[in-house]
Each structure stands twice: as structure tokens, then as C-alpha cells.
Amino acid sequence: MSTLSRDEVARVAGLARIELTEAELHRLAGELDVIVQSVARVSEIATPDVPATSHPLPLTNVFRPDVPVAPLDRGAVLAAAPAAEEGRFAVPQILGEEA
């Protein structure tokens, strides 16, 4: 037995300002009914003795601690670059604009 009627689907579609044809309303009523029944079945299984989880595996932070360190020396970095100009990296022009 369907728990969602065609009229209920039409009402929700109207609230969302979604235009649906009669065929779409009929098809979506059946599809949404399957979804509602699936959620109800999961709700039956999820009893108070089953802990809620957001992820099946425990997650850990993979980032390093944020510790301030001395910055790299500008001269050493620019010396390792293919090209430098006026204390900055020099790169080829790509947009065709005048420099």
C-alpha cells in the first residue's frame, strides 16, 4: 500500500515550484514511497542500543600541528627558480596583455 499519494507529491512539487506532468507525478509517488519505506525499515533497525555513527571507520586528523617556523629565505628561493625579476618569479605572459 502506498503511503504517498499523487496529490501529496503534487503538493510538495508545488511548494518547491517544480512543474511535473501527470506521468511524472504517478512515477514519483511510487519512487518516493519506496524511499519512505526504506527509511522506515532502517529506523526499525536503529534501536537505542545501536550507537549512531557518521562514518563506519574512525576518522583521525591527518594534518600536522600548526607550528610557526622561520620563513624561507627569498634569495635562496629565487635562486632556485628558472627565472626571477625584481625579487619575484618571472613567468611567461599567457593572456596577451601588455606588461
pLDDT of 24-39, one tens digit each? 999 999 999 899 999 8
Q: Where do the domains of the chain lie?
A: 6-45
Which residue, among 41, 8, 14, has the nearest Cα to 26 in the 3D structure?
8
* pLDDT tens track, the chain, 99 positions: 457 888 999 999 999 999 999 999 999 999 998 999 998 888 787 777 877 777 888 888 888 888 999 999 999 999 999 999 999 999 988 887 665
CATH number of the structural domain 6-45: 1.10.20
Alpha-helical (H) ranges within the chain are 6-15, 22-45, 74-80
Total count of residues recorded for the chain: 99
Contacts of 88 by beta carbon, 8 Å cutoff, 6+ apart? 78
CA–CA distance, 57 with 86 (Å, rounded to integer): 51
